[in-house]
Homo-oligomer: A and B are copies of this chain.
């Protein structure tokens, strides 16, 4: 618990992202197959756009990306929002409430209570595995039945602190 968590800060570490991408997409396929869900080409396309980086993207950024890819067609917002909704529900992506943005999950299928460290300098976002518990315990203590926890911590990552500012 006090040791640095491997999966905790992938976005802040160098890694073979090409491989990372492939693995996450593959995991997503797996999840959908297991759950008898359709990872249609639109959904996959949106997921792939998010998988291209570990940074959060706004729905309209994704939309722009889709329209860049599409040749003539003019894709409209609902298409993006519907794909995002699907991916969210299945836990393949997360929504960053404090940014109105979406980011791919780094361990799809875990049904994780995701928590985020958001660097306001480099804009990178690290997804950390449910660390606390004291929090949910406290909710429980007053008889509150937890549904979903939004935990988003903004600040400056180690790297950006080094680079002056």
| Residues of A bordering B, CB below 8 Å | 1-2, 4, 8-9, 12, 97-98, 115, 117, 119-120, 126, 128, 131-136, 138-139, 141-158, 161
A125: min CB distance to chain B, Å = 11
Please list 26 pairs of residues, one from A and one from B, whose beta carbons are closer than 8 Å in the complex, sorted by A's number.
A1-B134, A2-B141, A12-B142, A97-B98, A98-B150, A117-B144, A126-B142, A126-B144, A131-B134, A131-B135, A132-B132, A132-B138, A134-B134, A135-B135, A135-B151, A139-B155, A144-B153, A144-B157, A144-B158, A145-B155, A146-B154, A147-B155, A148-B153, A148-B154, A150-B150, A151-B151
Residues of chain B contacted by A8 (CB below 8 angstroms)? 138, 142
Evaluate contact between A144 and B150: CB separation under 8 angstroms. no
Complex interface: chain B residues within 8 A of A1 (CB): 134
Identity of the chain B residue whose Cβ is nearest the Cβ of A157 in the assembled complex: B144
* Nearest CB of chain B from residue A46's CB, rounded to whole Å: 22
Q: Are B149 and A153 in contact (CB under 8 A)?
A: yes
CB distance from A74 to the nearest CB of B (A): 28
Q: Which residues of B contact A126 (CB under 8 A)?
A: 142, 144
Query: Pick the contact of A155 from B2, B128, B146 — CB < 8 Å?
Result: B146
Q: Which of B97, B134, B141, B145 contacts A150 (CB 8 A)?
A: B97
A50 to nearest B CB, angstroms? 20
